[in-house]
A and B are shown apart, each in its own frame.
Chain A
């Protein structure tokens, strides 16, 4: 087993060796600007186009519907701001979910400050939106529905195909932030009626700093980054050639392995969930049991706080994350956990473990073995647990 047991694959992933190998050449030998005329530039232009093809194929899009960005946040910003600006004449209303990533939420809040109206729909206790709620929120002036494919914290997968069909029927543009989904679950933009889709390479074993926005042919969208004529005049800036090459290789490899890997990860995920819930009392699973990303585990432990769990896990060489306020950088715990109805104190005590292709069953067994004593140690220190035990004694007496 590795010295570091990495269970934070939703934060970022290790770049796989094949990807690093494919990229290296484009830093050193083949460094030309794809827009130039000489040979090494043309080689690079071809490399960029190959990457575009690989990305398109993975989501059943056409090659010229893929636009490279500097990552998922840029893709989300571009999709939402770009559509808002381009369809101003039609209306100023946007529908999204309360559990979206901040790249979507803060972009929507920004647009609100510019006079747009945004409906933030609630989700059920499993983190999934009811189609009926979207239907009811649609207005005459609704120009965009932006619903994430799968949630980064609790892994819940939204009914994207149904939302896509609804948006199509109502003639509303549909964007999905698929940063957590691409490379992990099957996506078909045609079958699902998706108009715009954001993705990020570092979530599927590719490099950081490169992502893409899929824009269906025929959709009008103003650029976010102005400048040169790159990306069919829609996104300026010299192409991140090594990044695009890496993203292309990464998405091709993971798409070929997707079914097998999803099955393997789902097995490990379920083993982890079942073991923790049965070994540790007063713990609960956050998110949906079935409609869930293959690698996502999110569990709340009552009476203890998340950052303390992470520090203790780190001492055992285990990397994980939490929705506690201390890890969010504010006084409030995760907006996602609050949105599924968790009271603050239970949201503070959440632990997210996200599995990926480099994780083994041995590592899963290791955390199953280590976690109960960590939770117990923190509970022994907790005044909330002390009160709970005392109250229980009073009740049973």
Chain B
């Protein structure tokens, strides 16, 4: 079902954890769908110095989180914006069709973390839009349902 690269990033995920003094944190997805990604970025002088993640989800969700954080490390903010779901998927040698949404979540989580950073710094990152898949909205939905 999964490529060797996906299995490698699932079994030995890179960058699992938290960054205490993160420059930006983004959480996307919702527990209802079974995927939540939280990405921490440490940004200094416009460069992503470190990236960490925590993920609740399937094999593809863990692997894409791992790959996405790996890809943005050392990149400029603009370069980090170009780490798209397509780039993550290609770096993992593809995903089964039903799992493609996981790679979208990885991109959204990165963007959400960058947005958080921009908000904190009071700057505007060109080409970055406010994350739509904000977790707080979904939590409300969850409460309504149960």
Contact = CB atoms under 8 A, between A and B. Distances in A.
Interface stretch (B51-59, B70-78, B81-89, B118-126): B51-59
B112 to A, nearest CB: 12
Given A381-B55, A382-B55, A329 B34 contact: no
Interface of A: 303-308, 311, 315, 324-326, 329, 331, 333, 343-345, 348, 380-386
Contacts of A385: 56
Contacts of B33: 325, 331, 344
B13 interface: yes
B64 interface: no
Nearest to B10: A311
Measured as residues with beta carbon below 8 angstroms from the partner, the interface class of chain B is 20 to 34
Contact of B31 (A326, A344, A380): A344
Interface string B19-48: 000000001000111111110000000000
B18 interface: yes
Interface of B: 7, 10-11, 13, 16, 18, 27, 31-38, 54-62, 98-99, 142, 145-146
Contact of A305 (B7, B27, B32, B57): B57
A331 B58 CA distance: 12
Contacts of B55: 381-383
Contacts of B99: 326
Nearest to A380: B16
18 contacts: A305-B58, A308-B10, A308-B58, A311-B59, A315-B11, A325-B34, A326-B98, A331-B33, A333-B34, A343-B31, A344-B33, A344-B34, A345-B56, A381-B13, A381-B54, A381-B56, A382-B55, A386-B54
Nearest to B146: A343
Contacts of A307: 58-59
B16 to A, nearest CB: 5
Contacts of B35: 305
